[in-house]
């Protein structure tokens, strides 16, 4: 692969990860500015992207929308990232249609708001009795634009990178945007049948959308990818999630949203659950560990909270590994050594970034030593 010369070695480690094994170290996905890049840091590269966005948006009321929806601009933006990024360890060069995290909302009538940093979706369900679920697969503008971007990325790929699954969003979180989070929380009590019906419709579409894109991309990808995680699997993979669960009791989560997790997990061969923040962990982790369709749990503490390697999180990580699930953590480089003192390298994926290729190579060497010395290495 042009942007990842050591892909065969990375693929072997990731195949071991999915078997809940390890070879010479835990999986570490590390990125850095490429030696040939004029940008000295990730921040500088992002600033360069920002300049491009401002130039496109200047004097054009649809400039931000073009930035997100024009196939050629999506391709050029991703190529700029690939050309300036070193993908070390198990980090893979993969791109995708990134319209925020809940793009499925606009397929059902929610108006997308394109801005500088992301895409948001406006509430559209005002009255359950009057609402009709309609998604015109042939003529929906945003679905057609999504397919056009995927096709453009594939047509220009030539084996240089992977083209991953768009972030369509899960049913619960898409619905929380289409209805409004506060109103949806009340709907669980006042309109439970409508909520169950909504989740059924959205999870059906989730499966259909994922299968459509998977059929378009799997040969190019040698399987599937989760692009924002830089995660590859030798088959169907996607993110399962329910960030809305952070405001729910465990009972309400099980009643309304675990059926969706199971249905979408049945589509996945490598189901990866995105667990976002301590409130969601507290209300859902024990339930999630009993869901056989979940292979991996990816944990994010969230902003302004204790970092990933903080002692209060370690028992939860160990519980995940003891349940036979793989564990994926977003970390800072200095967190890897203390984490490997507490966790097994088996079925462990750590994603981080550094400021140079040399620093990244050193970190990978150190990770092998820390993995070999981990007191949990044989667990």
* Spatial separation of the C-alpha atoms in residues 117 and 51, rounded to whole Å: 13
pLDDT score, position 58: 67
Element (H, E) at 342: none
Rg of the chain in Å (alpha carbons): 21
Could you tell me if residue 222 is left (phi over 0), alpha (psi between -120 and 50 degrees) or otherwise beta? left
Q: What is the pLDDT of residue 379?
A: 74
Provide the pLDDT for residue 101. Answer: 87
Q: Does domain 7-373 have CATH number 3.20.20.210?
A: yes
Q: Which residues are within 8 A (CB) of 141 and not within 5 positions of it... i.e. 6 or more apart?
A: none
Q: Alpha-carbon torsion 347, 327, 329, 204, what sign? A: positive
Q: Answer whether 150's CB lies under 8 Å from 210's CB.
A: no
Answer yes or no: are the C-beta atoms of 257 and 199 closer than 8 Å: yes
pLDDT by position in tens, the chain (length 379): 999 999 999 999 999 999 999 999 999 999 999 998 887 777 777 777 667 666 766 666 677 899 899 999 999 999 999 999 999 999 999 999 999 889 999 999 999 999 888 899 999 999 999 999 999 999 999 999 999 999 999 999 999 999 999 999 999 999 999 999 999 999 999 999 999 999 999 999 999 999 999 999 999 999 999 999 999 999 999 999 999 999 999 999 999 999 999 999 999 999 999 998 898 898 899 999 999 999 999 998 888 889 999 999 999 999 999 999 999 999 999 999 999 999 999 999 999 999 999 999 999 999 999 999 999 888 7
Instruction: List alpha helices for the chain, DSSP H.
Output: 7-18, 42-57, 63-69, 71-83, 104-107, 141-155, 171-179, 181-190, 192-221, 250-256, 258-267, 278-288, 314-322, 336-340, 357-373
How many angstroms separate the Cα of 346 from the Cα of each of 13, 278, 376, 379? 11, 24, 9, 8
In this predicted structure, what is the pLDDT of residue 61? 62
Distance CA 79, CA 283 (A): 40
Q: What's the rounded Cα separation, in Å, for the pair 316 and 281?
A: 8
pTM of this prediction?
0.94
β-strands 270-276, 162-163 pairing? unpaired
User: Among candidates 269, 241, 217, 226, which has minimal Cα distance to 91?
Assistant: 226
Specify the DSSP class assigned to residue 3.
T
């Amino acid at each position: 692969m042009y942007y990842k010369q050591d892909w065969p070695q990375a693929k072997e480690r990731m195949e071991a990860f999915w078997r809940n094994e390890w070879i010479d170290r835990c999986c570490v996905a590390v990125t850095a500015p490429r030696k040939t890049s004029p940008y000295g840091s990730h921040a500088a590269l992002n600033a360069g992207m920002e300049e491009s966005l401002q130039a496109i948006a200047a004097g054009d009321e649809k400039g931000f929308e073009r930035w997100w929806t024009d196939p050629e601009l999506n391709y050029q933006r991703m190529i700029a990232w690939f050309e300036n990024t070193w993908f070390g360890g198990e980090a893979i060069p993969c791109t995708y249609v990134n319209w925020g995290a809940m793009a499925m909302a606009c397929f059902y009538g929610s108006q997308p708001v394109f801005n500088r940093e992301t895409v948001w979706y406006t509430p559209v369900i005002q009255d359950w009795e009057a609402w009709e679920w309609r998604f015109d697969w042939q003529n929906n503008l945003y679905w057609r634009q999504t397919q056009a971007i995927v096709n453009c990325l594939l047509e220009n790929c030539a084996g240089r990178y992977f083209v991953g699954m768009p972030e369509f969003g899960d049913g619960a979180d898409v619905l929380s945007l289409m209805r409004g989070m506060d109103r949806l929380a009340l709907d669980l009590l006042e309109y439970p049948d409508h909520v169950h019906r909504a989740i059924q419709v959205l999870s059906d579409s989730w499966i259909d959308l994922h299968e459509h894109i998977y059929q378009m991309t799997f040969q190019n990808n040698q399987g599937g990818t989760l692009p924002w995680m830089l995660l590859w699997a030798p088959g169907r993979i996607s993110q399962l999630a329910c960030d809305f669960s952070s405001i729910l009791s465990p009972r309400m989560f099980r009643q309304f949203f675990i059926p969706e997790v199971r249905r979408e997990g049945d589509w996945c061969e490598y189901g990866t659950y995105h667990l976002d923040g301590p409130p969601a962990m507290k209300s859902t982790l024990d339930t999630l560990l009993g869901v056989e369709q979940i292979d991996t749990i990816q944990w994010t503490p969230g902003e302004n909270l204790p970092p990933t390697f903080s002692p209060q999180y370690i028992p939860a990580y160990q519980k995940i590994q003891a349940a036979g699930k793989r564990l994926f953590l977003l970390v800072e480089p200095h967190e890897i050594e203390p984490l490997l003192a507490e966790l097994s390298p088996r079925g462990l994926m750590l994603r981080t970034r550094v400021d140079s290729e040399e620093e990244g190579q050193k970190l990978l060497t150190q990770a092998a030593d820390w993995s070999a010395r981990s007191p949990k290495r044989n667990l």
